[in-house]
């Protein structure tokens, strides 16, 4: 990897490593699967928003629509070219189901089951990550979410280093400043 980095210009590095860098920079160092699920859900939602904005003639109005994640999945799918990764839409529904279980249920087993369902679904479609990929700080949930994130980023022709979707947190920080 050092050789690749040595011979790439900065703009080329962004194309190659941009999604990986943004994904890894925004994951927490600790906190367990719950915080990882929330962060991954937000990162993936950013890309869904970008897919929708790219297809829109007036993207400034997308934020005003106040679309939920499930609505963004349907809208992004309707605006996307059919391709080899049709399974991605099922994966998005599964990660959203896990996030909703976390947000609306105190039953930890239900959340864990839905996280497992999401990770297993992605592994079935793409392959199970090798043992060298899974560490104490990068688990199956990380891997599955990253696979979905990178495929969507590619589909959106998305350089995440140049994009910041408005989120509830960012609006609170701006309003509270």
pLDDT (mean) for 45-69: 92
Q: How far apart are CA 94 and CA 55, in angstroms?
A: 24
Residue pLDDT, tens place only, 68-106: 999 999 999 999 877 778 999 999 999 999 999 999 989
Residue listed under structure tokens 């529904």: 93
The answer as to whether 88 is a domain residue is yes
Average pLDDT over the chain reads: 80
Domain count, the chain: 1
Q: What is the pLDDT of residues 13-31, one digit of tens each?
A: 445 567 677 887 888 766 6
159 pLDDT above the threshold of 90: no
50 contacts 62 by C-beta, under 8 angstroms = no
What's the pLDDT at 3?
33
Residue that wins the pLDDT comparison between 125 and 134: 125
pLDDT for residue 169: 43
Compute the average pLDDT of residues 124-140: 80
Tell me which residue range forms the domain holding 155. Answer: 14-164
Domain contains 2: no
Question: How many C-beta atoms surround the C-beta of residue 47 within 10 A?
Answer: 26
Other beta carbons within 10 angstroms of residue 149's beta carbon come to 21
Lowest-confidence range among 4-8, 96-100, 116-120?
4-8
**Residue 169 included in any domain:** no
**Residue 3 domain-assigned?**
no
Q: What percent of the chain has pLDDT over 70?
A: 76
Query: Computed from CA positions of residues 12, 13, 17, 23, in that sequence, does the dihedral angle turn out positive or negative?
Result: negative
In a domain, 135, yes or no: yes
Instruction: Print the SS3 string covering the chain.
Output: CHHHHHHCCHHHHHHHHHHHHHHHHHCCCCCHHHHHHHHHHHHHHHHHHHHHHHHCCCHHHCHHHCCCHHHHHHHHHHHCCCCCCCCHHHHHHHHHHHHHHHHHCCCHHHHHHHHHHHHHHHHHHHCCCCCCCCCCCCCHHHHHHHHHHHHHHHHCCCCHHHCCCCCHHHHHHHHHC
Say what the pTM is. Answer: 0.77
pLDDT of residue 75: 95
Residue 76 lies in a domain: yes
Whether residue 8 is contained in a domain is answered as no
Q: How confident is the model at residue 161 (pLDDT cuts 50, 70, 90)?
A: low
| pLDDT for the residue numbered 43 | 93
Report angle CA 36, 150, 14 to the nearest 5 degrees: 105
Higher pLDDT, 176 or 125: 125
Mean pLDDT of 149-164: 72
CB 145: neighbour CB atoms within 10 A?
A: 25
Domain-embedded: residue 6: no
């Amino acid at each position: 990897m050092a050789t690749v980095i040595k011979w790439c210009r900065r703009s080329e590095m962004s194309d190659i490593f941009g999604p990986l860098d943004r994904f890894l920079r925004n994951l927490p160092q600790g906190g367990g699967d719950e915080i990882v699920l929330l962060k991954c859900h937000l990162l993936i939602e950013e890309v869904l928003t970008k897919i929708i904005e790219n297809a829109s003639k007036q993207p400034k109005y997308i934020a005003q629509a106040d679309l939920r994640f499930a609505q963004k999945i349907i809208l992004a799918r309707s605006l996307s070219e059919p391709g080899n990764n049709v399974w991605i839409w099922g994966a998005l529904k599964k990660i959203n189901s896990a996030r909703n279980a976390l947000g609306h249920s105190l039953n930890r087993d239900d959340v864990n089951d839905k996280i497992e369902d999401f990770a297993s679904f992605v592994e079935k479609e793409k392959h199970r990550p090798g043992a060298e990929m899974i560490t104490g700080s990068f688990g199956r949930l990380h891997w599955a979410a990253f696979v979905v994130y990178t495929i969507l980023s590619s589909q959106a022709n998305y350089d995440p280093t140049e994009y910041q979707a408005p989120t509830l947190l960012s609006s609170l920080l701006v309003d509270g400043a």
